[in-house]
Structure 1
Protein backbone atom coordinates (compact mmCIF):
# COMPACT_ATOMS: atom_id res chain seq x y z
CA UNK A 1 0.00 0.00 0.00
CA UNK A 2 2.78 2.43 0.95
CA UNK A 3 4.71 1.57 -2.21
CA UNK A 4 1.67 2.41 -4.38
CA UNK A 5 1.23 5.74 -2.59
CA UNK A 6 4.91 6.61 -3.02
CA UNK A 7 4.75 5.71 -6.74
CA UNK A 8 1.66 7.88 -7.17
CA UNK A 9 3.37 10.76 -5.36
CA UNK A 10 6.53 10.46 -7.50
CA UNK A 11 4.40 10.31 -10.66
CA UNK A 12 2.40 13.35 -9.53
CA UNK A 13 5.60 15.32 -8.76
CA UNK A 14 7.05 14.39 -12.15
CA UNK A 15 3.90 15.67 -13.91
CA UNK A 16 3.90 18.90 -11.89
CA UNK A 17 7.61 19.45 -12.60
CA UNK A 18 7.05 18.86 -16.32
CA UNK A 19 4.09 21.27 -16.28
CA UNK A 20 6.10 24.05 -14.65
CA UNK A 21 9.07 23.47 -16.96
CA UNK A 22 6.86 23.75 -20.04
CA UNK A 23 5.17 26.93 -18.73
CA UNK A 24 8.37 28.98 -18.63
CA UNK A 25 7.81 32.37 -20.14
CA UNK A 26 9.59 32.88 -23.46
CA UNK A 27 12.17 35.66 -23.29
CA UNK A 28 11.85 38.14 -26.12
CA UNK A 29 14.91 39.63 -27.76
CA UNK A 30 15.76 43.11 -26.45
CA UNK A 31 14.93 46.06 -28.69
CA UNK A 32 18.60 46.86 -29.18
CA UNK A 33 19.46 43.57 -30.91
CA UNK A 34 20.69 43.80 -34.49
CA UNK A 35 20.86 41.08 -37.10
CA UNK A 36 24.12 39.45 -38.12
CA UNK A 37 24.25 41.19 -41.51
CA UNK A 38 23.99 44.64 -39.91
CA UNK A 39 26.58 43.70 -37.26
CA UNK A 40 28.91 42.56 -40.04
CA UNK A 41 28.52 45.90 -41.84
CA UNK A 42 29.44 47.74 -38.62
CA UNK A 43 32.55 45.62 -38.20
CA UNK A 44 33.53 46.10 -41.87
CA UNK A 45 33.22 49.88 -41.48
CA UNK A 46 35.42 49.80 -38.38
CA UNK A 47 38.08 47.72 -40.16
CA UNK A 48 38.09 49.99 -43.25
CA UNK A 49 38.26 53.23 -41.29
CA UNK A 50 39.55 53.07 -37.73
CA UNK A 51 41.16 49.63 -37.85
CA UNK A 52 43.26 50.48 -40.90
CA UNK A 53 44.54 53.69 -39.28
CA UNK A 54 45.28 52.03 -35.95
CA UNK A 55 47.21 49.19 -37.54
CA UNK A 56 49.16 51.53 -39.85
CA UNK A 57 50.39 53.86 -37.11
CA UNK A 58 50.80 51.65 -34.04
CA UNK A 59 53.62 49.59 -35.53
CA UNK A 60 52.56 46.44 -33.67
CA UNK A 61 53.84 42.96 -34.46
CA UNK A 62 50.36 41.84 -35.50
CA UNK A 63 46.92 43.36 -36.10
CA UNK A 64 45.48 45.21 -33.09
CA UNK A 65 42.71 43.55 -31.11
CA UNK A 66 39.17 44.51 -32.08
CA UNK A 67 37.02 41.72 -30.67
CA UNK A 68 36.88 40.45 -27.12
CA UNK A 69 35.25 37.43 -25.51
CA UNK A 70 33.90 37.31 -21.97
CA UNK A 71 32.57 34.19 -20.25
CA UNK A 72 28.79 34.49 -19.89
CA UNK A 73 28.70 32.98 -16.39
CA UNK A 74 31.39 35.42 -15.21
CA UNK A 75 29.44 38.33 -16.72
CA UNK A 76 26.33 37.17 -14.85
CA UNK A 77 28.37 37.12 -11.63
CA UNK A 78 29.66 40.61 -12.34
CA UNK A 79 26.12 41.89 -13.01
CA UNK A 80 24.88 40.27 -9.77
CA UNK A 81 27.84 41.86 -7.95
CA UNK A 82 26.97 45.29 -9.37
CA UNK A 83 23.34 44.89 -8.26
CA UNK A 84 24.41 43.80 -4.78
CA UNK A 85 26.93 46.61 -4.28
CA UNK A 86 25.03 49.46 -5.97
CA UNK A 87 21.82 49.21 -3.97
CA UNK A 88 23.29 50.19 -0.56
CA UNK A 89 25.14 53.02 -2.32
CA UNK A 90 21.79 54.45 -3.47
CA UNK A 91 22.06 53.70 -7.21
CA UNK A 92 19.06 52.75 -9.36
CA UNK A 93 18.54 52.08 -13.09
CA UNK A 94 21.85 50.25 -13.33
CA UNK A 95 23.79 49.78 -16.52
CA UNK A 96 27.22 49.02 -17.89
CA UNK A 97 29.39 51.41 -19.89
CA UNK A 98 31.99 49.82 -22.17
CA UNK A 99 35.27 51.69 -22.62
CA UNK A 100 38.05 51.15 -25.13
CA UNK A 101 41.47 50.90 -23.56
CA UNK A 102 45.03 49.88 -24.37
CA UNK A 103 47.63 48.09 -22.30
CA UNK A 104 50.93 49.90 -21.79
CA UNK A 105 53.91 48.36 -23.59
CA UNK A 106 55.07 46.69 -20.41
CA UNK A 107 55.41 42.93 -19.91
CA UNK A 108 53.48 43.04 -16.62
CA UNK A 109 50.27 43.51 -18.66
CA UNK A 110 48.52 40.58 -20.36
CA UNK A 111 48.71 41.97 -23.91
CA UNK A 112 51.30 44.79 -23.94
CA UNK A 113 50.64 47.53 -26.50
CA UNK A 114 47.31 46.13 -27.69
CA UNK A 115 43.72 47.27 -27.31
CA UNK A 116 41.31 46.04 -24.68
CA UNK A 117 37.82 46.88 -23.49
CA UNK A 118 36.62 47.16 -19.92
CA UNK A 119 33.21 47.49 -18.34
CA UNK A 120 32.25 50.11 -15.77
CA UNK A 121 29.00 49.94 -13.77
CA UNK A 122 26.67 52.93 -14.06
CA UNK A 123 23.50 54.05 -12.35
CA UNK A 124 21.26 56.89 -11.35
CA UNK A 125 21.67 58.34 -7.91
CA UNK A 126 19.49 60.91 -6.23
CA UNK A 127 21.65 63.42 -4.44
CA UNK A 128 19.96 66.00 -2.30
CA UNK A 129 21.04 69.60 -2.50
CA UNK A 130 21.54 71.52 0.72
CA UNK A 131 17.89 72.05 1.59
CA UNK A 132 15.35 71.12 4.21
CA UNK A 133 12.77 70.23 1.55
CA UNK A 134 12.97 66.69 0.10
CA UNK A 135 11.67 68.05 -3.23
CA UNK A 136 14.93 69.88 -3.86
CA UNK A 137 17.05 67.00 -5.19
CA UNK A 138 19.14 66.21 -8.25
CA UNK A 139 19.13 62.95 -10.19
CA UNK A 140 22.52 61.99 -11.57
CA UNK A 141 21.87 59.99 -14.74
CA UNK A 142 24.15 57.16 -15.81
CA UNK A 143 26.94 58.19 -13.51
CA UNK A 144 29.91 55.82 -13.35
CA UNK A 145 29.83 54.00 -10.02
CA UNK A 146 33.41 54.48 -8.93
CA UNK A 147 32.95 52.55 -5.68
CA UNK A 148 32.52 49.30 -7.67
CA UNK A 149 35.55 47.90 -9.55
CA UNK A 150 35.55 47.86 -13.36
CA UNK A 151 35.64 44.53 -15.23
CA UNK A 152 38.44 43.56 -17.64
CA UNK A 153 40.49 40.64 -18.87
CA UNK A 154 38.29 39.09 -21.49
CA UNK A 155 40.04 37.18 -24.22
CA UNK A 156 41.09 39.12 -27.31
CA UNK A 157 41.28 37.51 -30.74
CA UNK A 158 44.90 36.90 -31.76
CA UNK A 159 44.52 37.72 -34.60
CA UNK A 160 41.01 39.19 -34.45
CA UNK A 161 38.21 36.99 -35.81
CA UNK A 162 36.09 38.55 -38.52
CA UNK A 163 32.37 38.53 -37.86
Structure 2
Protein backbone atom coordinates (compact mmCIF):
# COMPACT_ATOMS: atom_id res chain seq x y z
CA UNK A 1 0.00 0.00 0.00
CA UNK A 2 2.81 2.35 0.94
CA UNK A 3 4.57 1.59 -2.34
CA UNK A 4 1.40 2.44 -4.24
CA UNK A 5 1.17 5.76 -2.38
CA UNK A 6 4.78 6.55 -3.29
CA UNK A 7 4.07 5.82 -6.96
CA UNK A 8 0.96 8.01 -6.85
CA UNK A 9 2.93 10.87 -5.26
CA UNK A 10 5.75 10.51 -7.79
CA UNK A 11 3.31 10.42 -10.71
CA UNK A 12 1.44 13.45 -9.32
CA UNK A 13 4.72 15.39 -9.04
CA UNK A 14 5.64 14.59 -12.64
CA UNK A 15 2.19 15.62 -13.86
CA UNK A 16 2.44 18.91 -11.94
CA UNK A 17 5.89 19.61 -13.44
CA UNK A 18 4.63 18.86 -16.94
CA UNK A 19 1.56 21.05 -16.44
CA UNK A 20 3.68 23.89 -15.04
CA UNK A 21 6.14 23.70 -17.93
CA UNK A 22 3.26 23.71 -20.40
CA UNK A 23 1.89 26.86 -18.77
CA UNK A 24 5.30 28.54 -18.70
CA UNK A 25 6.05 27.79 -22.35
CA UNK A 26 3.17 29.88 -23.77
CA UNK A 27 4.14 32.63 -21.31
CA UNK A 28 7.76 32.56 -22.52
CA UNK A 29 6.62 32.51 -26.15
CA UNK A 30 4.32 35.47 -25.49
CA UNK A 31 7.16 37.46 -23.86
CA UNK A 32 9.50 36.59 -26.73
CA UNK A 33 6.87 37.68 -29.25
CA UNK A 34 6.37 40.97 -27.38
CA UNK A 35 10.12 41.58 -27.35
CA UNK A 36 10.35 40.93 -31.07
CA UNK A 37 7.46 43.31 -31.70
CA UNK A 38 9.22 45.94 -29.58
CA UNK A 39 12.42 45.55 -31.61
CA UNK A 40 10.69 45.75 -34.99
CA UNK A 41 8.55 48.74 -34.00
CA UNK A 42 10.01 51.92 -35.47
CA UNK A 43 11.31 54.26 -32.75
CA UNK A 44 10.19 57.88 -32.51
CA UNK A 45 12.33 60.21 -34.56
CA UNK A 46 12.63 58.09 -37.71
CA UNK A 47 12.37 60.41 -40.73
CA UNK A 48 11.60 59.68 -44.38
CA UNK A 49 14.22 59.40 -47.12
CA UNK A 50 12.92 62.64 -48.62
CA UNK A 51 13.28 64.47 -45.28
CA UNK A 52 16.84 63.18 -44.92
CA UNK A 53 17.68 64.34 -48.42
CA UNK A 54 16.30 67.80 -47.64
CA UNK A 55 18.49 68.01 -44.52
CA UNK A 56 21.53 67.00 -46.57
CA UNK A 57 20.84 69.53 -49.32
CA UNK A 58 20.19 72.30 -46.78
CA UNK A 59 23.49 71.55 -45.04
CA UNK A 60 25.29 71.73 -48.41
CA UNK A 61 23.79 75.13 -49.23
CA UNK A 62 23.87 76.66 -45.75
CA UNK A 63 27.06 75.16 -44.27
CA UNK A 64 29.25 72.90 -46.45
CA UNK A 65 29.65 75.37 -49.35
CA UNK A 66 30.63 78.15 -46.92
CA UNK A 67 33.13 75.84 -45.16
CA UNK A 68 34.63 74.85 -48.52
CA UNK A 69 35.08 78.49 -49.57
CA UNK A 70 36.56 79.46 -46.18
CA UNK A 71 39.03 76.55 -46.01
CA UNK A 72 40.05 76.87 -49.68
CA UNK A 73 40.90 80.56 -49.20
CA UNK A 74 43.18 79.87 -46.26
CA UNK A 75 44.69 76.63 -47.59
CA UNK A 76 48.45 76.71 -48.09
CA UNK A 77 49.56 76.56 -51.71
CA UNK A 78 51.87 73.59 -51.17
CA UNK A 79 49.03 71.38 -49.92
CA UNK A 80 48.40 68.83 -52.67
CA UNK A 81 44.87 67.71 -51.90
CA UNK A 82 41.90 70.12 -52.17
CA UNK A 83 39.84 70.58 -49.03
CA UNK A 84 36.58 68.59 -48.95
CA UNK A 85 34.18 69.37 -46.06
CA UNK A 86 33.23 66.43 -43.84
CA UNK A 87 29.68 65.24 -44.41
CA UNK A 88 29.38 62.42 -41.89
CA UNK A 89 31.25 60.55 -39.17
CA UNK A 90 30.85 56.77 -39.09
CA UNK A 91 30.89 54.66 -35.90
CA UNK A 92 30.90 50.86 -35.86
CA UNK A 93 27.60 49.54 -34.43
CA UNK A 94 29.42 46.97 -32.28
CA UNK A 95 31.70 49.70 -30.89
CA UNK A 96 28.70 51.93 -30.12
CA UNK A 97 26.95 49.11 -28.24
CA UNK A 98 30.14 48.46 -26.25
CA UNK A 99 30.48 52.18 -25.53
CA UNK A 100 26.88 52.50 -24.29
CA UNK A 101 27.27 49.41 -22.08
CA UNK A 102 30.56 50.82 -20.74
CA UNK A 103 29.21 54.28 -19.82
CA UNK A 104 26.08 52.75 -18.26
CA UNK A 105 28.26 50.50 -16.09
CA UNK A 106 30.63 53.31 -15.07
CA UNK A 107 27.75 55.69 -14.31
CA UNK A 108 25.97 53.08 -12.20
CA UNK A 109 29.15 52.44 -10.22
CA UNK A 110 29.43 56.21 -9.83
CA UNK A 111 25.96 56.50 -8.32
CA UNK A 112 23.78 57.59 -11.25
CA UNK A 113 22.13 56.36 -14.45
CA UNK A 114 22.92 57.50 -17.98
CA UNK A 115 19.69 58.27 -19.84
CA UNK A 116 20.91 60.12 -22.95
CA UNK A 117 23.90 60.79 -25.19
CA UNK A 118 24.68 64.32 -26.28
CA UNK A 119 26.27 64.59 -29.73
CA UNK A 120 28.58 67.61 -29.81
CA UNK A 121 29.98 69.15 -33.00
CA UNK A 122 33.73 69.80 -33.01
CA UNK A 123 36.67 70.67 -35.25
CA UNK A 124 40.15 69.15 -35.26
CA UNK A 125 41.91 72.44 -36.06
CA UNK A 126 45.36 72.85 -37.57
CA UNK A 127 47.26 70.66 -35.08
CA UNK A 128 45.93 67.39 -36.49
CA UNK A 129 48.28 66.01 -39.12
CA UNK A 130 47.04 64.55 -42.39
CA UNK A 131 44.41 65.85 -44.82
CA UNK A 132 41.69 63.55 -43.43
CA UNK A 133 41.53 65.39 -40.08
CA UNK A 134 43.24 68.77 -40.42
CA UNK A 135 40.63 71.55 -39.99
CA UNK A 136 37.80 69.05 -40.45
CA UNK A 137 34.59 68.93 -38.46
CA UNK A 138 33.81 65.95 -36.24
CA UNK A 139 31.38 64.85 -33.53
CA UNK A 140 31.87 63.45 -30.04
CA UNK A 141 29.47 61.72 -27.66
CA UNK A 142 28.92 62.85 -24.07
CA UNK A 143 26.79 60.68 -21.73
CA UNK A 144 24.32 62.72 -19.67
CA UNK A 145 22.74 61.93 -16.31
CA UNK A 146 21.29 63.33 -13.08
CA UNK A 147 23.92 64.19 -10.46
CA UNK A 148 23.19 65.81 -7.08
CA UNK A 149 19.86 67.24 -8.21
CA UNK A 150 21.32 68.72 -11.41
CA UNK A 151 21.56 67.36 -14.95
CA UNK A 152 24.22 67.36 -17.66
CA UNK A 153 27.14 65.60 -19.30
CA UNK A 154 29.17 63.53 -16.87
CA UNK A 155 32.65 62.19 -16.17
CA UNK A 156 33.95 59.94 -13.41
CA UNK A 157 35.83 61.76 -10.68
CA UNK A 158 39.02 60.62 -8.98
CA UNK A 159 36.88 59.34 -6.08
CA UNK A 160 34.90 57.05 -8.46
CA UNK A 161 31.66 59.02 -8.34
CA UNK A 162 29.86 60.54 -11.34
CA UNK A 163 30.29 64.31 -11.65
CA UNK A 164 28.96 66.99 -13.99
CA UNK A 165 31.27 68.15 -16.77
CA UNK A 166 30.48 71.84 -16.38
CA UNK A 167 31.61 71.63 -12.74
CA UNK A 168 34.93 70.15 -13.86
CA UNK A 169 36.28 73.34 -15.39
CA UNK A 170 35.82 75.52 -12.30
CA UNK A 171 37.33 72.73 -10.18
CA UNK A 172 40.24 72.49 -12.62
CA UNK A 173 40.99 76.20 -12.19
CA UNK A 174 40.90 75.82 -8.39
CA UNK A 175 43.14 72.77 -8.67
CA UNK A 176 45.73 74.64 -10.74
CA UNK A 177 45.85 77.41 -8.14
CA UNK A 178 46.15 74.99 -5.21
CA UNK A 179 49.05 73.08 -6.81
CA UNK A 180 51.20 76.17 -6.50
CA UNK A 181 50.58 76.50 -2.77
CA UNK A 182 49.86 73.08 -1.21
CA UNK A 183 50.76 69.43 -1.67
CA UNK A 184 48.33 67.36 -3.81
CA UNK A 185 45.83 65.12 -2.05
CA UNK A 186 46.09 61.32 -2.01
CA UNK A 187 43.30 61.17 -4.61
CA UNK A 188 45.34 63.25 -7.04
CA UNK A 189 48.44 61.19 -6.41
CA UNK A 190 46.89 57.75 -6.97
CA UNK A 191 43.69 58.38 -8.96
CA UNK A 192 42.68 60.48 -11.94
CA UNK A 193 39.44 61.84 -13.34
CA UNK A 194 38.08 59.58 -16.10
CA UNK A 195 36.49 60.82 -19.30
CA UNK A 196 33.51 58.99 -20.85
CA UNK A 197 33.59 61.01 -24.09
CA UNK A 198 33.74 59.12 -27.40
CA UNK A 199 35.30 60.51 -30.60
CA UNK A 200 37.62 59.02 -33.25
CA UNK A 201 34.94 57.57 -35.50
CA UNK A 202 35.53 56.85 -39.18
CA UNK A 203 35.84 60.25 -40.81
CA UNK A 204 34.61 61.41 -44.17
CA UNK A 205 35.15 62.90 -46.78
CA UNK A 206 34.05 59.59 -48.25
CA UNK A 207 34.49 58.52 -51.88
CA UNK A 208 30.70 58.45 -52.28
CA UNK A 209 27.92 59.83 -50.08
CA UNK A 210 24.43 58.35 -49.65
CA UNK A 211 22.69 61.44 -51.01
Compute the TM-score of the two structures, normalised by the length of structure 2: 0.56
Partner of 1:11: none
Q: How many residues align?
A: 133
CA distance in 2 between counterparts of 1:34 and 1:156 reads: 23
Calculate the aligned-residue CA RMSD, in Å: 2.4
Structure showing greater relative contact order (alpha-carbon pairs closer than 8 Å, 6 or more residues apart): 1
The verdict on how the C-alpha distance between 1:80 and 1:146 changes in structure 2, with shifts beyond 3 A counting, is same
- Structure 1 residue 107: deviation in Å? 4.5
Partner of 1:66: 87
The verdict on how the C-alpha distance between 1:112 and 1:154 changes in structure 2, with shifts beyond 3 A counting, is same
**The 10-residue stretch of structure 1 (105-114 or 37-46) with the greater mean CA deviation from structure 2:** 105-114
1:140 aligns with 2:153: no
Aligned residue among 140, 156, 160 for 2:203: 156
1:111 aligns with 2:133: yes
Higher strand share: 1
Partner of 1:134: none
What are the Cα deviations for residues 60-86 of structure 1, in whole angstroms up to 9, with x where unaligned? 522111211100000000000010001
- Structure 2 unaligned runs (5+)? 1-24, 76-81, 157-194
Q: Which stretches of structure 1, 4 residues or more, deviate above 3 A after TM superposition?
A: 107-110
Which structure is larger by alpha-carbon Rg, 1 or 2? 2
CA distance in 2 between counterparts of 1:121 and 1:149 reads: 7
**The 10-residue stretch of structure 1 (30-39 or 104-113) with the greater mean CA deviation from structure 2:** 104-113
- Structure 1 unaligned runs (5+)? 1-15, 128-138
Report the 3-state secondary structure (helix = DSSP H, G, I; strand = E; otherwise coil) of the residue aligned with 2:62. Answer: helix
- Structure 1 residue 113: deviation in Å? 1.6
CA distance in 2 between counterparts of 1:89 and 1:103 reads: 30
Compute the TM-score of the two structures, normalised by the length of structure 1: 0.71
CA distance in 2 between counterparts of 1:107 and 1:161 reads: 24
Partner of 1:25: 36
